[in-house]
């Protein structure tokens, strides 16, 4: 007689997590705790929780105000969460992470305006909870009748399909094919729990190789029923029981089985605790005389020992540890420091819920009922073998520098700490090893030996790899290098006289005089180590491995400049030096002079009032003397002049308000805009004849005047007050028709001097 238990049987990690949360809550000495509905479909667990003070309340409105409510693994709707908030209930959420993921999908897809379709049992609490995240608008499919009846009522053409986590894979696949044929825009989210699928697959395999199968689980458990259906398809002699106590009803049958059949299979639903499975196996062994009770008990409750290598499934992560289902009587815990040698902030960076891990048993605590486990020890043992192979093969490895220690740095390779001494940390001496922290580096293992305690010490070298790579790059560089060839290099070091630039395996020197168009005292004023810089080769000395660099090929640039230079062409140059009479501008290897009068429309005493060495300046060529290499530059733009700015919006016949600023014998000057004056000729001041302008106007008077002429060439404006006087409006028109301002009203410098 052989009794076999399916590889995947009993608590799934979601249920195990919910039960663990419930027992932890019970141990906190709280009062008034309840679960909303049966936490799991197992009356033994429910009964035990009730003995510990946790009631099971099925109806939402029966939960008293202020109670602490444990939400079961099946999850609940948004409306139910809102109810608990209004009812002042503290919620301890034990919803399975896989179910929470479905809630998120449904909420997001519903907000997009898509029709939600759920493949599952509409009366199952999980499906009811999922439907609550799309305002109970989902179409729910579970059998062929649902397809025909409900799909015809779907108005929307865009569907988003999810599945109950415990649904059978073949059922999901059948509906997937139907929907694909009916609808064009349909998106499927395969949300069947991996553990459920694995459990069903393991149950099917068990049933195929068994003469009789017992499926253990709650009578109301959906996933237990599905396991029963899967097993019965493969093995007609399949029976469903809740616990070992029900086997008494099969005692006679089990003894009869011995006469003709020898293989008994056991599997269990996700809500069935391990101890219920073990009790059932013991009872079967006792009934069939497979082994005596003591032997069976010892076989079932074999203890773990320090040093054992076991497998486990991650059921939860916290900031300090990982909780693992090791399919035993104790919980498995991986402290964060035993998870990996890599620096991490949270275990979820390394593992996620549902991952199957190979683990090292560090310590078993019978008192606390906890098994302390280590993932990094298993990784390190495996990694040490791989590192030894890499050492023998002189393989180049890549990893990140995780730590700065005395005398060197540490990298993690294959889960093993590798020490790299300071002398091996770089091709050149590195004063500050901190610059390597966090960097990805290539290295080789150069030493592996054991200390007195038998611990293997692994030593690596970055320098070893860098020198080899540099030698290859240098060979390629010299094969291709040529004077005037352009390169983009990286500044490796800086001296008082220049900077060394890595061109790829070979360093070249760029002199300080080549680093800037203006005089600098030290290269650090314009560059720093690590900068990328474009350079040209000026000189090559292959025998001595010397390369001289420049930022630009000046002779070539000067020739190109003179070939393209012409009067009126604009440039953006750099102010190279200042003199009393102007500023010299570097136009790219060629200097030009901007006279002080060209630097500003305002009167300045020295160029330093408007520019300084190093400034960039937009200029244009005013005059060219190629024979003597002289260039006269302009900077002022007409559109920036006071005349242009003051008159750009004015036109003849405009009436403007002006201020009298000067009075002369032949008329008065009025300020129209800053630095722009207009002349009111004596004949245009009044409709009555006056001897002199001061008879009618005083300096400082503000008057309205009409523009009667604008001369942009001579930059003169003629104004008239008389033109605004109604009684002489017709006369003004006649006068303007017969006389022009330039004939009667224009003035010269001599006029002004005579008047003064």
Q: Mind telling me the catalytic residues? A: 126
Specify which residues 314 forms β-bridges with: 324
Pairing of strands 507-511, 486-495: unpaired
CB atoms within 10 A of CB 515: 19
| Residues near 120 by beta carbon (within 8 Å), at least 6 away in sequence | 126, 127, 130, 140, 141, 142, 163, 164, 167
First to last CA, the chain: 136
Number of residues in the chain: 756
Q: Which residues of 71-102 are buried (b: 16+ CB within 10 A; e: fewer)?
A: bbbbbbbeebeebbeeeebeebebbbbbbeeb
- DSSP H/E element including 307: none
DSSP string spanning 191-256? ---HHHHHHHHHHHHHHHT-SEEEEE--TT-HHHHHHHHHHHHH-SSEEEESSGGGGGGGHHHHHH
Distance CA 594, CA 617 (A): 10
Distance CA 745, CA 756 (A): 18
Specify which residues 508 forms β-bridges with: 501
DSSP reduced 3-state for 414: coil
Place of tokens 């070992």: 244
Sheet holding 139-141, edge to edge: 139-141, 115-119, 158-163, 185-188
Q: Which residues of 610-644 are buried (b: 16+ CB within 10 A; e: fewer)?
A: ebeeeeebebbbbebeeeeeebbbbbeeeeeeeee
């Amino acid at each position: 007689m052989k009794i076999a238990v399916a590889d995947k049987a009993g608590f799934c990690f979601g249920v195990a997590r919910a039960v663990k949360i419930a027992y932890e809550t019970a141990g906190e000495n709280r009062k008034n705790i309840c679960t909303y509905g049966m936490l799991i479909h197992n009356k033994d667990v429910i009964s035990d929780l009730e003995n510990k003070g946790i009631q099971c309340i099925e109806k939402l409105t029966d939960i008293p105000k202020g109670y602490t409510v444990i939400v079961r693994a099946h999850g609940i709707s948004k409306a139910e969460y809102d109810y608990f908030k209004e009812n002042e209930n503290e919620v301890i959420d034990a919803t399975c992470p896989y179910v929470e993921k479905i809630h998120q999908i449904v909420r997001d897809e519903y907000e997009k305006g898509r029709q939600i379709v759920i493949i599952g049992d509409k009366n199952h609490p999980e499906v009811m909870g999922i439907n609550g995240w799309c305002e109970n608008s989902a179409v729910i499919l579970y059998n062929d009748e649902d397809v025909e009846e409900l799909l015809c009522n779907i108005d929307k053409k865009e569907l988003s399909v999810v599945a109950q986590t415990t649904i059978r894979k073949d059922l999901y696949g059948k509906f997937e094919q139907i929907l694909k044929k009916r609808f064009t825009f349909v998106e499927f989210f395969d949300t069947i729990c991996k553990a459920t699928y694995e459990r069903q697959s393991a149950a099917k395999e068990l049933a195929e190789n068994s003469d009789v199968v017992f499926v253990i689980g709650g009578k109301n458990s959906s996933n237990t029923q599905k396991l029963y259906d899967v097993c019965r398809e493969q093995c007609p002699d399949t029976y469903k029981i809740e616990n070992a106590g029900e086997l008494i009803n099969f005692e006679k049958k089990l003894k009869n089985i011995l006469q003709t059949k020898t293989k008994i299979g056991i599997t269990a639903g996700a809500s069935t605790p391990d101890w219920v499975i073990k009790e059932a196996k013991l009872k079967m062994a006792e009934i069939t005389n497979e082994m005596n009770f003591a032997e069976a008990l010892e076989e079932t409750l074999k203890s773990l020992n320090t040093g054992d290598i076991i497998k486990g499934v991650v059921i939860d992560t916290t900031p300090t540890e990982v909780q693992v289902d090791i399919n035993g009587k104790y919980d498995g815990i991986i402290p964060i420091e035993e998870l990996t040698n890599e620096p991490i902030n949270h275990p979820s960076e390394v593992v996620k819920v549902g991952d199957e891990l190979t683990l090292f048993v560090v310590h078993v605590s019978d008192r606390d009922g906890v098994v302390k486990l280590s993932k990094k020890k298993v990784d390190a043992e495996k990694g040490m073998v791989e590192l030894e192979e890499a050492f023998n093969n002189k393989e180049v490895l890549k990893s990140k520098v995780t730590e700065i220690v005395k005398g060197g740095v540490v990298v993690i390779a294959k889960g093993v700490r590798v020490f790299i001494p300071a002398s091996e940390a770089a091709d050149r001496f590195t004063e500050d090893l901190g610059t390597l922290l966090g960097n990805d580096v290539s290295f080789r293992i150069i030493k592996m030996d054991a200390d007195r305690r038998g611990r293997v010490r692994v030593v690596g070298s970055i320098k070893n790899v860098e020198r080899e790579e540099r030698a290859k790059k240098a060979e390629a560089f010299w094969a291709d290098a040529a004077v005037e060839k352009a390169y983009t290099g990286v500044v490796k070091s800086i001296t008082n006289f220049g900077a060394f630039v890595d061109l790829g395996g070979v360093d070249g020197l760029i002199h300080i005089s080549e680093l800037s168009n203006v005089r600098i005292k030290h290269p650090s004023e314009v560059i720093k180590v690590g900068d990328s810089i474009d350079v040209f080769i000026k000189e090559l000395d292959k025998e001595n491995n010397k390369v001289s660099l420049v930022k630009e090929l000046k002779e070539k640039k000067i020739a190109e400049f003179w070939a393209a230079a012409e009067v009126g062409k604009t440039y953006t140059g750099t102010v190279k030096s200042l003199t009393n009479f102007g500023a010299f501008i570097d136009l790219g290897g060629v200097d030009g002079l901007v006279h002080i009068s060209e630097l500003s429309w305002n009167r300045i005493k020295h160029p330093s009032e408007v520019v300084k060495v190093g400034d960039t300046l937009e200029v244009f060529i005013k005059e060219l003397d190629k024979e003597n290499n002289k260039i006269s530059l302009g900077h002022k733009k007409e559109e920036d002049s006071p005349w242009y700015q003051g008159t750009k919006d004015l036109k003849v016949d405009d009436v403007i308000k002006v201020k009298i600023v000067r009075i002369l014998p032949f008329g008065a000057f009025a300020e129209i805009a800053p630095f722009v004056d207009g002349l009111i000729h004596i004949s245009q001041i009044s409709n009555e004849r006056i001897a002199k302008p001061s008879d009618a106007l005083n300096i400082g008077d503000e008057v309205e005047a009409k523009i009667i002429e604008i001369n942009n060439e001579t930059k003169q404006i003629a104004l008239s007050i008389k033109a605004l006087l109604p009684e002489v409006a017709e006369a003004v028109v006649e006068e303007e028709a017969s006389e022009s301002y330039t004939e009667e009203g224009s003035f010269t410098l001599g006029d002004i001097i005579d008047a003064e």
